[in-house]
Amino acid sequence: MRSLHSPAILLLLVTSAHVQAERPASDTGRKIYQTHCAACHGGRGEGQPGWERLNASGEMPAPPHDRKGHTWKHSDAMLYQMVAQGWRDPFNKTQRLTMPAFQGALQPWEIRAVIDYLKTQWTPRQRAFQREESRSAPYPTNSEWNLR
């Protein structure tokens, strides 16, 4: 009988564990969302009131991430970049980032997990659209992201 400890089997087990770590359950994404995102984007991803126009401070409020929003129009690569690096609406009246950067607070797999959780808020049609957009712009690999 072949030993279970052959190098090939071990490699398979290690790889499998790596994939498990890279692809956490969506509940992990939900918890990350509630901890880091819900304060601005709402507990159910509903966004802030009046998110379509500048608020009294001259800034765009946080938009919804659910099916009523436009998050589903972005590729995985773009969503990852938005969460990691943040973004400032160029028409804002302040210099603050409209969306803060989370790359210091979240690990790459956590960013992917929270984006994967957002996808559960969309319609099948929206998910199909976003999947198509992501075909040419998928999540960056860890090594790609570390090179930036």
Partner 1 sequence: MKTKPGLAVMPRISRPGCRQSLEGTPSATVSRREALTFFASSALVLPGTLKAATEPRADQIVALAAEGSGSALYKATGRAVYRSADGGRSWQHLGMPLQPGARIQSISVSAAGAEALYVAGLGIDIVRRRQDRAGWSRVGHALPRRISAVAAHARQEHTVYAYARGRGIYRSDDGGERWRLMDAGPRGGIAQFVHSDMPGSMQTGWLFTAGPQGVRLAMDCFCGWRPAGDLAGGTVAVVYDRRNSSRLATATTSGVFESSDRGQSWARLANAPVNVRALVFTADGSLLAASGARIYRWATARWEAVDA
Q: Which residues of 40-50 are buried (b: 16+ CB within 10 A; e: fewer)?
A: ebbeebbbeee
- Of 19 and 52, CB closest to partner 1: 52
Residue 127 engages partner 1 in binding (rule: CB under 8 A): no
**Shortest separation between residue 62's beta carbon and partner 1, angstroms:** 13
- Of 7 and 90, CB closest to partner 1: 90
- Of 23 and 125, CB closest to partner 1: 125
Long-range contacts of 97-102 (CB under 8 A, 24+ apart): 98/59, 98/60, 99/62, 102/36
Spatial neighbors of 39 by CB under 8 A, at least 6 apart, are none
Per-residue mark of binding to partner 1, 44-83 (x: CB under 8 A): -------xxx---------xx--xxxx-xxx---x---x-
The first and second tokens of residue 13, run together, are 């087990």
The first and second tokens of residue 89, run together, are 């609406």
Residue 87 engages partner 1 in binding (rule: CB under 8 A): yes
**Shortest separation between residue 3's beta carbon and partner 1, angstroms:** 51
- Of 23 and 73, CB closest to partner 1: 73
Tell the residue number behind the tokens 């499998």, with chain if given. Answer: 16
Question: Cα 129 to the chain's mean position, in Å?
Answer: 16
Binding site for partner 1 (CB under 8 A): 51-53, 63-64, 67-70, 72-74, 78, 82, 87-91, 123, 125-126, 129, 132, 136
